[in-house]
Structure 1
Amino acid sequence: MPTHLDASATPSSHRPRLLLVDDEPRVLASLQEMLKGSGYAITTADSGTAALACLAEMRFDLVLLDLLMMDVDGHQVMDFINQQDTKADVIVVSGTVGIESAIGALKRGAHDYLRKPFSREELLRTVDNALRQRDLQQINRRMVAALALSEKKYRYLVDASPDMIYMLGHEGRFTYVNDRACQMLGYEREELLGQHYTALLHAEDHERALYVFNERRVGERASRDVELRVTCRAGPTHTHDAADTSVITISLNAIGMHREKRDPHTPTYVGTYGIARDVSARKRAEAVIHHQAYHDILTDLPNRVLFKDRLGLAMLQARRKHTELAVMFIDLDRFKLVNDTLGHGHGDKLLQQVALRLKDCLRKGDTLARQGGDEFTIVLPDLRSRDDARVVADKFIERLQQPFDLSGNEVHISASIGVAIYPEHGESIDELLRNADIAMYRVKDLGKNGHAFYDPSMHDALHQNVALEQHLRRALERNELEMYYQPQIDAASGRIIGAEALMRWNHPVRGLIMPGEFLPFAEESGLIVPISEWMIDTLCRDMAHWGTDGADPLTLSLNLSPHYLDHSKFFETMRNALQRYDIGPGRIAVEITENICIRNPQYAIEQLKKLGQLGVSVAIDDFGTGYSSLAYLHRFPIHTIKIDQSFVQQISDEDGHYPVVLAIISISRGLNLDLVAEGVETEVQARYLRAHGCSTMQGFLFHRPMPLGGFVNVLNS
């Protein structure tokens, strides 16, 4: 639907009329806002159909046009403009489109191409240039129309033309050039007059220009919009081809001039009249568009389109030569951590440095491409054996393990690399890429920072994971999830003072599944939100049940995912569950991992403070295994820290020295926090912890996690 907006109070007869066309309302509103106050009469169209209606109804000076629209696309709108001769110039305003679409727009007469996103200054400059060029073209047309009135006016108008205008004699030598020709070519008029046209042509275009530059034909058969390269004296806007010359590309229109004899059917050829326009800027823009269509803007590596093209060619050569090639799929480990801690700007710098390191490990004929995000793909043609691919993968691992310097921040990362061999692991492009991707995920599952060759068994494992995720989606509906509880003991008295709630999945086929096996799928798929809400509700319901049994008040802790804590409704879910089951918030403790402290520290502090205001206490789980800052830890409204079981399991000697455990105990004392040791399995561990000030413990030495009924029995025994 078209809408009209007067950009200022200037009389409309003096204002350029603009039509803005885009089917994205936000983009259309943004364009309109950017042009507000610039003195233009603006009409907007929210679809290609609306644009056609506007163009049929009124005339516009300039159309800002999106190519990719759902009903009538930009090319069809431009065809309508050209067919109806509406006299409107077009600036294409579009995002990432195919090179064919971009070039198609330029060939249909688009004045310029603005790539999203762009700044207001860039938009205003482009619009202003287009309107200025339009004014010049209108002036030029008026000048050409007045040629017949006066020879003096004719010469003035020709010399004022923005295009090169020339005449050649019948021998192909210049008999006239206008001022623009001298400016464009860098010569004085006296140097050009009498010169043969071939002296200006690029050597490779001589044959092509033989019947074009020195045109003898007239009418429809005459040359139109023929592009040729000419050499001229080097200038700041020219592409250098030699030490003292440069090359520009011109678009040439030429027509033969004839003098009639007594027989009008056999006129005498006397020379050529031609007009040439410098289109070098347009050619450079086309080259940039072509490059960007096939390359990643951030790293300047080939993108997935160009990578598939090169992989296809490499496969054809391998098939002819009966050789092998390798396809690698590389995913950076812990890249998200860099983005979360240092910001996306540093993440982009890291990707650029990674690309340079990977390129240094490759041969000249290898292709490295960026698929997107932190994923890279590589094709290694002409393998002598798969050991060649293994050597390259080892080089990648070694180079990426060296520290990266990001504006003074030292960053360490690693990579997981999957390798597929043609033709053994696939005979199509998509099959090779898919199998290399599967091998990469196998490396992820095994602990990351390594490489693996594809094996058919990996495909079976992937199908199992996909099936597991599908079953998990139905587990909530089928009531297959269950809460287990592991008591927390006061080691001095042996009394149960709390418990940690742990989730289990009673799979109908596989039996009891531990959370470590299915929670990663829940995190990736977004199921962690409904699962966490189920955990909160179940915990409060079970606690209400204990209350009716007369059990002593206990503090129950629940480990919640950082992804769920980022969810805006988690606080309301917790508060509503406490109210629904009439549970005192002081009996609930939420356990979080240290890594929440580095995702968005200020947001985490605000969220946890809301819990504290509600009365729910907060514990840091697996303390010492993450990356939290003690400065942030001091600011967090936490009440308890838990010693990770990996540190507890190191205690094997009651008289030994275990500095990490002692350090965590000291931190808890210094911050006046409660302390719980996890994974206590031996008397030696229990005595060591108790001797150094940790009296609250949980682990197999005391109790294993148990279902609700078993836990109630333990409480009542």
Structure 2
Amino acid sequence: MNLSTASAAPALPRIEEGTAPALQFELDVLPRLLLVDDEPLLLAALEDMLEGRNYHIVRASCGSEALEHLHKLKFDLVLLDLRLPDMSGHQIMDVINEKGMDVDVIVMSGDVGIDAAIGALKRGAYDYLRKPCSREELLKTVTNALAQRRLELANQRIASQLENSEKLYRYLVDSSPDLIYTLNHEGRFTFVNDRAYQLLGFTREELIGKHYSILVHDEDLERARYVFNERRVDERASRNVELRLKCHSGTDADRTFNNTLMTISLNSIGMHVPDTEVRKLEFFGTYGVARDITDRKRAEEVISYQAYHDILTDLPNRMLFKDRLGLAVIQAKRRATELAVMFIDLDRFKLVNDTLGHVKGDELLQQVALRLKECLRRGDTLARQGGDEFTIVLPELRDRDDARNIADKFLECLHKPFDLDGHEVHISASIGIAVYPVDGESIDELLRHADIAMYQVKALGKNGHAFYDRAMLDVSHQKIALEQALRRALELDELEMYYQPQIDVVTGRIVGAEGLMRWNHPQRGVLMAGEFLPFAEDNGLMLPISDWMITALCRDMQIWNAAGGQSIRLSLNLSPQYLDRGDFFEKMRGALVRYGISPAQIEVEITENICIRNPQYAIDQLNKLCQLGVSVAIDDFGTGYSSLSYLHRFPIHTIKIDQSFVKVIHDEQGHYPVILAIISIARGLGLHLIAEGVETEMQARYLKANGCMTMQGYLFHHPVSLAEFICVLEEHYPVPERNAVALGQGPA
């Protein structure tokens, strides 16, 4: 089959790829011709005359064969004889018309009557040739028929493209997420797409012919005048101009209108008609696209609000507070007035947060924020700095009493209990106050000095307020110097372990000792743990200090074991921060192995709040210690937020009665229910019991009489160094007995 293009075919316009595929196919393939005649010689002659014209030719010798070909194949042209043995050519044309076959017909007949020709033309024949016809006449007729056919197909393709293009444009415009419009030179709508109804609630009919001002918010009309009357057509045309448009949401049964506002970002360009005579552009309107950015504007407002406000309490954050404080300082300077800055830190918040969890801690902060706001004057600003810290600026201060009165109100409102889903919580606050301009003229100075005053309150027992004084700065510098010295103390080996013996009051024997840390400060002498460990906790030093403590303790135990003290059990306090660290167990086991210490000689003291904060995690960690052979004691029992439902689940061996309960014993015959309750709990759970801080014979007799047989305190021994502790052991265990103890024959 020859598929090359016929050289005689006329050039046609190029058809764009992807448009009207069926028509494209018909224009690109070789023309297919069907020759129908019952005379074989005539068929052969016809084929010879058409030879070399690049036609695909099919022959048929009767009407039924012709119809069979027409049903199977698609033809461009049929050369049809009217006289066939089984049917007439007119009948074949009737079938073609009836079936709607897209094919042209040239009738070739020897009939000289006019009726045959009229019948063929009525049935839509392209032409009528009388036999015999010349080759030139045949070729000319066939070529013209095919050319006309190709032109008709090309016109159909163009019409189809135009129709599809119009439909596509209409679809794109009406389904656009943007509002598309045109205005005439008077600013009246000549076109709006369907988005106008979806966004604004106005139908196309309600807007066409109306002036654009019916949509624009009154405050934006001036800006809209430049946009909706835009005449520029290049880069100078309006771009991304924000306007608010009125939305018509319809009416209800009472015909009550609800008008809201929408913010749009609008682009527009002028439309001009070229005037060839005067060679200028005549302005006839504006074309514009308006995008709904209401959601974006709302999101921007939310983001902007969140950037300057604390999400938890909805108070201004540090950034907004500094901005407002800066404005207040400028106004105070201009008016020559004073203002006060307060720095508030909640006392005991960390204990509540660790005990009841962060969710309850957040609820407490929210309740605190509400109470503090109720104490403020109009114009005052309360902000959350972060954590449990709040700051306040009090502008237009008449005198210091104004700030003092508000601070008293804060303390009074925080004194009332907080209800956290059934948990009654009591907190207080430490408040530092700095006054402009005497305590500082810049934002940072005022905040820093208020912070220093707040820490002074904490150092004096918390739950109060204080104005900044220059002497406080020296104390603050001392604290910084203390922190720096503490870091050096680890490197210079200035830390030392002291030991306070624990006595069995029945036998008078030492049965254990509590390890307590001391710092041999080069200038200040020996410092107790309470004087420097709070700084360590606040400055991330508890972990390295705890590592040092375990190593030092195991090293000391190796020494006193050599002196015959294997029967003595040593207890040491573990910081919650250290217990939370995943590798503390490995640190403990490694130190025991390195110094050859039996785990049975170690008892770890933890506060009960560790157990309540994350019970399951604490159980897992303490079980590891017990599997290693280390026992566990709860220190300061009864001072935290204990939950007895959890207590029996923990692998605990010892409860220590806090010295605050022991101190209140002033009468040997008195009734002290808290101590009696703790003794009963220990007895009921089968736990060992130790009383701390025993300082008088009366306290010792009361505790012994009620079932507590192990005690420690100044009545028996002060904490002593390792060398002194070994001397104490030698006094309690003479040499032969110490050897017996070493052999496992002495008292436990």
Same-fold call, TM > 0.5? yes
- Counterpart position of 1:585: 599
Structure 2 SS opposite 1:556: strand
- Counterpart position of 1:355: 369
| C-alpha distance 151-201 of structure 1, shift in aligned 2 (>3 A) | same
| AA matched with 2:368 | V
Q: How does 1:422-571 map to 2 (within 5 A)?
A: 422-551=436-565, 553-571=567-585
Distance in structure 2 (CA, Å) of the matches to 1:469 and 1:343: 29
Residue 673 of structure 1: which of 680, 687, 695 is its match? 687
Structure 1 residue 200 and structure 2 residue 200: aligned?
Answer: no
For residue 513 of structure 1, report the CA deviation from its aligned partner.
0.4
Deviations 1:601-621 (A, max 9, x none): 222222222222222222222
Give the share of equivalent positions with the same residue, in percent. Answer: 72
Residue 232 of structure 2: which of 214, 217, 232 is its match? 217
For residue 371 of structure 1, report the CA deviation from its aligned partner.
1.9
Distance in structure 2 (CA, Å) of the matches to 1:692 and 1:151: 101
Deviations 1:307-341 (A, max 9, x none): 11111111100001111111122222333334334
Distance in structure 2 (CA, Å) of the matches to 1:168 and 1:582: 94
Distance in structure 2 (CA, Å) of the matches to 1:685 and 1:472: 37
Distance in structure 1 (CA, Å) of the matches to 2:166 and 2:504: 110
| AA matched with 2:480 | V
| C-alpha distance 270-538 of structure 1, shift in aligned 2 (>3 A) | closer
- Counterpart position of 2:36: none
Residue 194 of structure 2: which of 170, 179, 184 is its match? 179
| AA matched with 2:520 | N
Residue 712 of structure 2: which of 688, 698, 706 is its match? 698
| C-alpha distance 667-193 of structure 1, shift in aligned 2 (>3 A) | closer
- Counterpart position of 1:45: none
Q: How does 1:226-625 map to 2 (within 5 A)?
A: 226-234=241-249, 244-261=258-275, 263-551=277-565, 553-625=567-639
| C-alpha distance 670-408 of structure 1, shift in aligned 2 (>3 A) | closer
Say whether the 8 Å CA contact 2:560–2:726 is kept in structure 1: yes
For residue 447 of structure 1, report the CA deviation from its aligned partner.
2.9
Distance in structure 1 (CA, Å) of the matches to 2:177 and 2:647: 68
For residue 153 of structure 1, report the CA deviation from its aligned partner.
7.0
Distance in structure 1 (CA, Å) of the matches to 2:446 and 2:573: 40
Say whether the 8 Å CA contact 2:188–2:210 is kept in structure 1: yes
Say whether the 8 Å CA contact 1:147–1:154 is kept in structure 2: no
Structure 2 SS opposite 1:171: coil
Distance in structure 1 (CA, Å) of the matches to 2:591 and 2:191: 91
| AA matched with 2:375 | C
Structure 1 residue 713 and structure 2 residue 718: aligned?
Answer: no
| C-alpha distance 256-581 of structure 1, shift in aligned 2 (>3 A) | closer
- Counterpart position of 2:646: 632
Q: Greater CA deviation, 511-520 or 699-708?
A: 699-708
Distance in structure 2 (CA, Å) of the matches to 1:255 and 1:585: 86
Distance in structure 1 (CA, Å) of the matches to 2:332 and 2:356: 43
Structure 1 residue 169 and structure 2 residue 184: aligned?
Answer: yes
Deviations 1:445-502 (A, max 9, x none): 2333322222222222121111111111121222211222222223233333322222
Say whether the 8 Å CA contact 1:598–1:627 is kept in structure 2: yes
| C-alpha distance 243-436 of structure 1, shift in aligned 2 (>3 A) | farther
| AA matched with 1:168 | L
Q: How does 1:74-153 map to 2 (within 5 A)?
A: none
Structure 2 SS opposite 1:699: coil
Q: Greater CA deviation, 304-313 or 481-490?
A: 481-490
For residue 157 of structure 1, report the CA deviation from its aligned partner.
5.2
Say whether the 8 Å CA contact 1:594–1:621 is kept in structure 2: yes
Say whether the 8 Å CA contact 2:693–2:714 is kept in structure 1: yes
What value does the CA root-mean-square deviation take over the aligned residues?
A: 2.7
Computing the radius of gyration over CA atoms, which structure comes out larger, 1 or 2?
A: 2
Distance in structure 2 (CA, Å) of the matches to 1:482 and 1:150: 90
Distance in structure 1 (CA, Å) of the matches to 2:179 and 2:629: 82
Q: How does 1:22-37 map to 2 (within 5 A)?
A: none
TM-score, L = length of structure 1: 0.74
Distance in structure 2 (CA, Å) of the matches to 1:529 and 1:635: 27
Distance in structure 2 (CA, Å) of the matches to 1:261 and 1:244: 47
| C-alpha distance 344-662 of structure 1, shift in aligned 2 (>3 A) | closer
| C-alpha distance 413-259 of structure 1, shift in aligned 2 (>3 A) | same
Say whether the 8 Å CA contact 1:608–1:637 is kept in structure 2: yes
Q: In structure 1, list runs of 5 or more residues that go unmatched.
A: 1-145, 237-241
For residue 263 of structure 1, report the CA deviation from its aligned partner.
4.5
| C-alpha distance 235-485 of structure 1, shift in aligned 2 (>3 A) | farther
| C-alpha distance 400-154 of structure 1, shift in aligned 2 (>3 A) | same
TM-score, L = length of structure 2: 0.71
| C-alpha distance 606-212 of structure 1, shift in aligned 2 (>3 A) | closer
Distance in structure 1 (CA, Å) of the matches to 2:510 and 2:178: 93
Structure 2 SS opposite 1:666: helix
Distance in structure 2 (CA, Å) of the matches to 1:644 and 1:157: 80
For residue 261 of structure 1, report the CA deviation from its aligned partner.
4.5
Distance in structure 1 (CA, Å) of the matches to 2:248 and 2:363: 41
Distance in structure 1 (CA, Å) of the matches to 2:588 and 2:463: 38
Deviations 1:216-266 (A, max 9, x none): 333333323322222231379xxxxx9532222223333333444465345
Structure 2 SS opposite 1:568: coil
Structure 2 SS opposite 1:220: coil
Deviations 1:676-710 (A, max 9, x none): 22222222222222222223222222222222222
Deviations 1:24-82 (A, max 9, x none): xxxxxxxxxxxxxxxxxxxxxxxxxxxxxxxxxxxxxxxxxxxxxxxxxxxxxxxxxxx
Q: In structure 2, list runs of 5 or more residues that go unmatched.
A: 1-160, 732-748
| C-alpha distance 646-407 of structure 1, shift in aligned 2 (>3 A) | closer
Q: Greater CA deviation, 157-166 or 452-461?
A: 157-166
Say whether the 8 Å CA contact 2:262–2:292 is kept in structure 1: yes
| AA matched with 1:636 | F
Say whether the 8 Å CA contact 2:355–2:609 is kept in structure 1: no
| C-alpha distance 699-175 of structure 1, shift in aligned 2 (>3 A) | closer
| AA matched with 1:648 | V
Say whether the 8 Å CA contact 2:668–2:701 is kept in structure 1: yes
| C-alpha distance 487-233 of structure 1, shift in aligned 2 (>3 A) | same
For residue 507 of structure 1, report the CA deviation from its aligned partner.
0.6
- Counterpart position of 2:137: none
Say whether the 8 Å CA contact 1:296–1:303 is kept in structure 2: yes
Residue 698 of structure 2: which of 684, 688, 695 is its match? 684
Structure 2 SS opposite 1:198: helix
| AA matched with 2:510 | I
For residue 518 of structure 1, report the CA deviation from its aligned partner.
0.8
Say whether the 8 Å CA contact 2:356–2:613 is kept in structure 1: no
Distance in structure 1 (CA, Å) of the matches to 2:167 and 2:626: 90
Distance in structure 1 (CA, Å) of the matches to 2:282 and 2:588: 97
